[in-house]
Amino acid sequence: MAASTPSRILVGAVLTAWLAVVVGPPVGLYAWRGQRLAEVSTPEARRQWEAFREDVRRQAEQPGPVKRKVPKSVEPPELVWLRDYAPLAATAWVVLAGVLGGVLAAMVIGVARSAAQQQPARDRDHEEQHDGDGKHADEREHG
């Protein structure tokens, strides 16, 4: 049985949405990553990070209810994450969203196709019921 046009449209829409969900965020991350890496890898950003670490170091020496820990990294964490871990994050997104979204897309397509295949049978049952109603009505009138 050939797929109907609404079924093909639904399949195309579901697959397009799935592809957008899988590809969109990593593409956006890499576009943002390039822009942000340029900002956080400047000498000024490193000076700000070092000033923050020094401020935490001073606060750690003062008595108080909370003891602060001095960050060990000599580079800003955002720089390290964008430089070293963005590819891992993008890969994880593609795998997880691809599998989970693919399963969801398959379920939606399966339900839609199942409903489309059952529609002719429901129409046929309805016609038989309608014919039977007329036959029974004739029998009641003449019976």
What residues make up the domain containing 102? 8-142
Q: In this structure, is residue 3 part of a structural domain? A: no
Closest CA to 7 of 123, 122, 127, 119: 119
Predicted pLDDT of residue 138 = 58
pTM over 0.85: no
- 3-state SS, 24-82, equals HHHHHHHHHHHHHHHHHCCHHHHHHHHHHHHHHHHHHHCCCCCCCCCCCCCCCHHHHHH
The total number of structural domains that make up the chain: 1
Q: pLDDT below 50 — which residues of the chain?
A: 1
Predicted pLDDT of residue 128 = 59
Q: In this structure, is residue 109 part of a structural domain? A: yes
Q: In this structure, is residue 27 part of a structural domain? A: yes
Instruction: Please give the single-letter amino acid code of residue 15.
Output: L
Helix (H, G, I), strand (E, B) or coil at 108: helix
Q: In this structure, is residue 1 part of a structural domain? A: no
Predicted pLDDT of residue 1 = 47
